[in-house]
Structure 1
Amino acid sequence: MWVLVEHDGSHVTSVASGIERGPATTCRGSSAGLEALVGHPLDERPTARLLPTTANCTHLADLAAWALAGASHPSMAREFEIIVPDELDEPVWVTISRDGQLVHKWLIKDHKILAPDMLEGRQLMRGFTAWARDKFEDDALEAALMLQRGVFVARGRTRVVDLPPAIPLRAAAGMANACYSYSGDRLETATSIVGYVRDFTSGVVRTPPPRDIVARFEGKGS
């Protein structure tokens, strides 16, 4: 998944996005939801009203929000690394680094933080954003939100999600209106995609954006 947000220094002027691999047959249509960002101020985080859950991919909306947060950074480039080990019988340390510098390191078990002491007992799923806003601010808050999303996405590693036959999304209990693909008529027509998961046994397999988008990221396109 990728998002390219262009701006004039104060407001968003255009948004392009894509899903090169996604779990459902309708995921790629969610890109249209980000068009609501055109004209949005760079110094304001997009609200749920601007990017409603039912009209957007959760992950593209996150990428767009993080792009806005970094748009005015002096270096013009920031790299985040999120590490979430597989949680088996013991707690695991999850981390996020920004430009090579550690920002957060949490010991977690069953989606609950055990360490550091200041966060002990805090839940990572329900109510996370509310307490995170009380504990962190600015870049530290943004990084905390990213790390929580990393844990959220990593939960999928415990499930076999792309084996045949394709499964209708309507079969997933409790998922109605959870995101673009699980909303409206799409919930009745969309299915899972067979074989989209990458195998990292022999190393990382990258799925780059289209060539013209890569060129624009590198400042070689228009």
Structure 2
Amino acid sequence: MARPNPLYGTGIFRRRIRLQAAQGQVSVDLEDGNHGFRLRLWHDGERVTTVEVDPLRIPFNTCAEAQRPLQRVIGHRLDEDDATLRSRLVPGDNCTHLYDMAVLAVAHAAAHLSKRRGDGITDDGCTTCLYDMEVDDERDGVTRARIACNGQPVHDWAIAQHTLHEPAEHAGRPVMRGFHAWASKSFSGMPREAAFALQRAYFVAQARRHSFEPAAEHPGASDGMPQGACYSYNTGVVERAFRSNGTVRDFTDSPELLLKFLP
């Protein structure tokens, strides 16, 4: 059983995602207090042809194996919808974060291709999007969660008991189970993508409440997570999922270190 983190209530969970779309390829880099990944996706203008992953910092020794189910993205048409991609990849079979990165990569590949065709672009210009997420530790029962895109604020939420209290137009909406349904209808374009990214950051930020040290005493099977919560919590994997030593980082006071992937 994990112990309470004695520092919880004094810090900020930070996550940064950088997307770079160029001709025929998209790169996605993600780093937060628990994870560090690089993903590269290639396409031929119609379908995904290759996907490669660098699992630089992972919670469990088994996480790197999730590169295998992610290969199902190969062959996906860039003009197919999110539901088709979801059914192809099956989120519970994958690492949650690699799944999210693949979805982002496909979306940005399609958007970049559409922009090139629509604007008549003929060079190999690269389009970059940088998302910065901040989730404050809960204080007085309330958590503040924010996301900016390329330095511009997009969402600023006040959350209590996994329910939105601010902004007023979304008060009462769930931030955990049921989030995807209402957010899909309430947002579009970049704000929709940012809302999904911020919700995921809020979910991962809950890990700050706990201390899993020493790692050897907290194997995956001891977490009590449901089957299919992610790749490493699946039957046949969770039994050999052991926590990695020394991989948790606190970026509360050092956001500038995100995406530097320091050892």
The answer for the alignment partner of 1:53 in structure 2 is 91
Distance in 1 (alpha carbons) for counterparts of 2:73 and 2:192:
22
The answer for the alignment partner of 1:132 in structure 2 is 183
The answer for the alignment partner of 1:64 in structure 2 is 102
Letter in 2 for 1:135: S
Correspondent of 1:32 among 68, 72, 81: 68
Deviation by residue 1:57-106 (Cα, 9 ceiling, x = unmatched): 00000011111222223462111111211112252432211122222121
Letter in 2 for 1:126: R
The answer for the alignment partner of 1:217 in structure 2 is none
Deviation by residue 1:42-63 (Cα, 9 ceiling, x = unmatched): 2333533211234210000001
Deviation by residue 1:134-155 (Cα, 9 ceiling, x = unmatched): 2112322111111101101111
**Kindly tell me: are residues 202 and 140 of structure 1, through their superposed partners in 2, closer, same or farther at Cα, counting changes over 3 Å?**
closer
Higher strand share: 2
The answer for the alignment partner of 1:219 in structure 2 is none
The one of the two structures with greater contact order (alpha-carbon pairs below 8 A, sep at least 6) is 2
The answer for the alignment partner of 1:215 in structure 2 is none
Letter in 1 for 2:187: F
Correspondent of 2:172 among 112, 118, 121: 121
Whether contact under 8 Å (1:84, 1:151) holds in the other structure is yes
Letter in 2 for 1:136: F
The answer for the alignment partner of 1:153 in structure 2 is 204
**Kindly tell me: are residues 14 and 57 of structure 1, through their superposed partners in 2, closer, same or farther at Cα, counting changes over 3 Å?**
same
Q: What RMSD over aligned residues (CA atoms) do the two structures have, in Å?
A: 2.3
Unaligned runs of 5+ in 2: 1-36, 116-125
**Kindly tell me: are residues 93 and 128 of structure 1, through their superposed partners in 2, closer, same or farther at Cα, counting changes over 3 Å?**
same
Aligned-residue offset at 1:201 = 7.1
Task: Compare 140-149 and 197-206 and name the one that shifted more.
Answer: 197-206
Distance in 1 (alpha carbons) for counterparts of 2:180 and 2:142:
22
Letter in 1 for 2:140: D
Alignment of 1:1-222 (within 5 A): 1-43=37-79, 44-45=81-82, 47-71=85-109, 72-73=111-112, 74=115, 76-200=127-251, 203=254, 205=257, 208=260
Letter in 2 for 1:79: L
Letter in 2 for 1:189: R
Aligned-residue offset at 1:31 = 0.9
Task: Compare 47-56 and 177-186 and name the one that shifted more.
Answer: 47-56
Unaligned runs of 5+ in 1: 210-222
Distance in 1 (alpha carbons) for counterparts of 2:183 and 2:252:
35
**Kindly tell me: are residues 47 and 98 of structure 1, through their superposed partners in 2, closer, same or farther at Cα, counting changes over 3 Å?**
same
Deviation by residue 1:151-195 (Cα, 9 ceiling, x = unmatched): 011111111124243433222224322111111311222222232
Letter in 1 for 2:209: T
- Identity among equivalent positions (%) equals 35
- TM-score, normalised relative to structure 1: 0.84
Whether contact under 8 Å (1:70, 1:78) holds in the other structure is no
User: After TM superposition, what 4+ stretches of structure 1 lie above 6 angstroms from structure 2?
Assistant: none
- TM-score, normalised relative to structure 2: 0.72
Letter in 1 for 2:223: A
Letter in 2 for 1:11: R
